[in-house]
Structure 1
Amino acid sequence: MFLCLKRTMGGYGLPFPKLNFPIEPTSAARKAAHKQRYVLDLYWPKRKIDVEYDSDSYHASSEGIASDAQRRNALQLMDVTVITVTRGQLYNAASFDRTARIIAASIGVRLPKTSQRWISQKQMLRYVLLKNETKTERKGNST
């Protein structure tokens, strides 16, 4: 939502990607990763840009890290650029902003100059969308 909502709502105004987009690997990619199919989190097909959210639950284990590396390598063989967003990036406003700008540039979107109004709208959107998670994190950190 952060990426595609209009700027007036606190988003970045990027075009909507394909969600959970299935893609069949080329024969070279299939050999590299032994997969018959990938499902891409957020995919902009014209630019071959895939944004993957790496959650802490699966992607932090050594098996998850190895699987993610194989997957990225296979997608690279198909000329798909993978941009990873971690939980830390998502929940840190400055880090997410840097990542969103990388995504925008990668899909060929030039973001307008930052205004104080947009910054306020982004802060409000982050509060609304992440408030329950933030409360959960605070409870977890206080024990």
Structure 2
Amino acid sequence: MEKIKDERLQLKNLKNIRITFIVQTLGIMGVLLYDLINHGMDGMTDNPVWFVFIMTGVVNAYLSMTISVEHEKTKGSPVKRLYIALGIITLISLLFVTFIALTNGYNVMDGLLVGGIVFVCSVIPAFYMFGLRQKEREG
């Protein structure tokens, strides 16, 4: 198979891939909705398609971060933005801890577990964005 060199054909190929991705995602969402209706939330999340859907969303989000960093208009300090992000993430995590600990049927350990998960899952993208901004600033 010969490599496409014409930019118009490359753009058309990328648009075709995007349309295919959208159709595939809608199909996966349809299967998951069917499982949700017939088997409930546990049945939906037990389906291996759920894992594919979540992983696709995560990969898409990380790829979108790369593009958004390259097109940022303000070129502020990446360290300052990281500190702001860490402050907001910490505040949101503490709110999760507090509200879950105060909810009937849950205790402080449940709040700490959920808050810790939210913190870790938010800190990883923040450091990834920091690395991208550092790389963009240097290059």
Instruction: Report the TM range for the smaller structure's normalisation.
Output: under 0.3
User: What TM-score, normalized by structure 2, do the two folds share?
Assistant: 0.20
* Larger relative contact order, structure 1 or 2 (CA cutoff 8 Å, min sep 6): 1
Q: Which structure has the highest strand share of the two? A: 1
User: What TM-score, normalized by structure 1, do the two folds share?
Assistant: 0.20
Q: Which structure has the highest helix share of the two? A: 2
Which one has a bigger Cα radius of gyration? 2
